[in-house]
Amino acid sequence: MNGEREPMDRAPGTSPAAAAGSWRLGDMEVNRIGFGAMRLTGSAAFHLGTPSDRDRALEVLRRAVELGVNHIDTAAFYFSRLRSANELINSALSPYPDDLVIATKVGPARTASGEWAAPARPDELRGQVEENLRQLGRDHLDLVNLRVMGQDSVAEHFGALADLREAGLIRHLGVSGVRPHHLAEARAIAPVVCVQNQYGVGSRDAEELVRLCAAQRIAFVPFFSIAGDGRAAGATGTESGEVLAVARAHGVSPARVRLAWTLRQGDHVLPIPGTGNPDHLVDNLAAATLHLTDEEAALLSAVRAA
């Protein structure tokens, strides 16, 4: 950890990220708009694209925290040829603010050259947790999500993480890329504080999970809320007529409209838009104060994936 920099100070409740309200992840209070670190590593997200500009990536992370973001999503497998999301977070933000929640995920595996490998076995998850601890410079992880990689049952994998939680390496647990039966299975083993799935305008396969999480007071953390079908590669550059119409009516970007709709789906919905661009960061956080009419929200809800 870099101990030369003083922790950043913020006035609670006065930041752009606080404008949409907050939610408790277990015993940790976070503002509803967080930050996804995947895109900090390069032009092709965590794949083997052109490395990002390091100084700009560090600037984005520091600016996010200054603007009130206190929920950052990352993973040890978020890296490109010269950039590691965890290393960037450590360099930019440690010593970490007391209220900053860093969520990571385990399950997927990549080789040192960046190729995808077989997902981790349950007995390999401790090694992935320890890798995140080393890279982030922490003695425990605030939140670890089990990223489900096609398996029908999560019992063995989630049970292994529950053991690491009991051992004090993990504070809270979540699940990612799941179906409703995965959530029920995990909750029978240990408390689940969040579910991460793709969700947004035109991408609503997780609708049942959004409702289940609301009923069970579990955070729903949607990813690719802006990118939609572009997924890890980012927004495709084409946009639906409905999103464009609402954006024009408010004089804002389509990305801001998409995030405002996502936030409207429940107080438990905590989007984690990611970007390597400081201007896009500010625009994303401004979604907290974009108020859609009921008619606009219905129009956007009717959008279907291309």
Q: Give catalytic residues, as residue numbers.
A: 78
CA–CA gap between residue 148 and residue 105 (Å, rounded): 10
CA–CA gap between residue 18 and residue 156 (Å, rounded): 37
Say if residues 56 and 13 touch (Cβ distance below 8 Å). no
Strand-pair category, 109-110 with 35-36: unpaired
CA 221 to the chain's CA centroid = 6
Cβ burial of 21 (10 Å; 0-12, 13-18, 19+) is exposed
Helix axes 155-166, 180-187, angle to 10 degrees: 40
Residue identified by tokens 């959008």 is: 303
CA–CA gap between residue 52 and residue 49 (Å, rounded): 9
Torsion region of 138: left, alpha or beta (phi above 0 gives left; psi -120 to 50 gives alpha)? beta
Three-class secondary structure assignment of 129-195: HHHHHHHHCCCCEEEEEEECCCCCCCHHHHHHHHHHHHCCCEEEEEEECCCHHHHHHHHCCCCCCEE
How many angstroms separate the Cα of 131 from the Cα of each of 10, 121, 135, 176? 30, 15, 6, 19
